[in-house]
Structure 1
Amino acid sequence: MAAKFDKAVSIIQSLPKDGPVQPSQAQQLQFYGLYKQATVGDVNTSRPGTFDFTGKAKWDAWKKVEGKSQDEAKEEYVKAFTELLNKHSDDENAKKWLADLESA
């Protein structure tokens, strides 16, 4: 699972800004929370201040998955990304990325 997770992270971080596969803001936060849980574990910082809206949203997304094992978080991350790619199965890049994930 670690190889698939690493591959999914790599693909997500390199998604073209204007490409057809664009995670929604909610999906981006889900990926962020699962990534932090998979790589760090449970939240280990205090919630950002009142006016740090982005920081609070990220912290909340991470806190939402608190208690999951790192392996569970990796598995959910890959599953969520696979579901996103499947919604764009008519796109050639999405097909390639799905194949890359399967072979990892």
Structure 2
Amino acid sequence: LNRATVEQFEQAKGKLSTLRNDPGNEVKLKIYALFKQATQGPCNTPKPGMLDFVNKAKWDAWKSLGDEARQQYCNLIGSLVEAEGPSSAQEAASPVGSGATYKTLLVTTEDDITTIKLNRPAKKNAITTEFVSNIYKSLQYLLYTHTHTLFTAGAGDFYCSGNDLTNFQLKEGGVEEMARQGGELLR
């Protein structure tokens, strides 16, 4: 198993502050839990009361983690930074630790189980041509790993809201160019 070094973990912590977009509550909760597990170990605090919803959610997330928290934290932060693409304040992120990163997907592998999470929560994970291309690339990546199980999920409140309507806007080159690009995507 690959395990992130302390240096990789510190780099991932620094990259977290460079995110421009809110990754959504589900992802932030996962980040919190992974950070707590990686820095403090297994959950050892008393369970909050049932009416303390925020702290109970944090406690549940932390309590559910295993030993690979540092590596998972690095993978998740690397994927989030990569999903935003380069900015003037940062270079394009390179994958941290094991797992592949894509602009619109979070791909993590643990114990021979790979999870592909659609990662456009602000757009309800609506499908774009880039999304389809990234899914195809991630499936090709899986051919070279030792994954035995594949699990898909969606970041945020929705698994997927369907096609992004911007897919149907006429672009430069008109209908013919869109048809050519669609044909290339389906190959």
Q: Is the 8 A contact 1:11 1:97 kept in 2?
A: no
> In structure 2, the residue corresponding to 1:92 is in which secondary structure?
coil
For 1:27, the equivalent position in structure 2 comes to: 27
Structure 1 residues 56 and 73, CA, compared in 2 at 3 Å: closer, same or farther?
same
Distance 1:54 1:87 in 2: 27
CA distance in 1, matches of 2:43, 2:50: 18
Question: What are the superposed Cα offsets for residues 2-60 of structure 1, whole Å, 9 maximum, x if unpaired?
Answer: 11111222332x34xxx633221111100111111111111101210122111001101
Q: Give the gaps of 5 or more residues in structure 2.
A: 98-187
Q: Would you identify which runs of 4 or more consecutive aligned residues in structure 1 move more than 3 Å? A: 90-93
Letter in 2 for 1:43: C
- Residues 84-99 of structure 1 mapped to structure 2, 5 A cutoff: 84-93=80-89, 95-96=90-91, 98=93
Residues 11-22 of structure 1: pairs in structure 2 closer than 5 A: 11-12=15-16, 14-15=17-18, 20-22=20-22
| Bigger RCO of structures 1 and 2 (CA < 8 A, at least 6 apart) | 1
Aligned to 1:10: 14
Aligned position for 1:51: 51
Which has the larger displacement, 19-28 or 34-43?
Answer: 19-28
Does the CA-based 8 Å contact 1:20-1:91 persist in structure 2? Answer: no
- Structure 1, unaligned runs of 5 or more: none
**What's the TM-score once normalised by structure 1's chain length?**
0.74
Q: Quickly say closer, same or farther: Cα 1:89–1:28, change in 2 above 3 A.
A: same
Are residues 22 and 92 of structure 1, via their aligned partners in 2, closer, same or farther at CA, if it must alter by over 3 Å?
Answer: farther
- What does residue 157 of structure 2 align with? none
- 8 Å contact kept, 1:48–1:59: yes
Larger radius of gyration: 2
How far off is 1:63 after superposition?
1.1
**Alignment pair present for 1:81 and 2:77:** yes
Where is the strand percentage greater, Structure 1 or Structure 2? 2
| Higher helix residue share | 1
| TM-score when normalising by structure 2 | 0.44
Q: Deviations over 1:51-90 (max 9, x none)?
A: 211100110110121xx22xx2111101011111111114
CA contact (8 A) 2:12 2:77 kept: yes
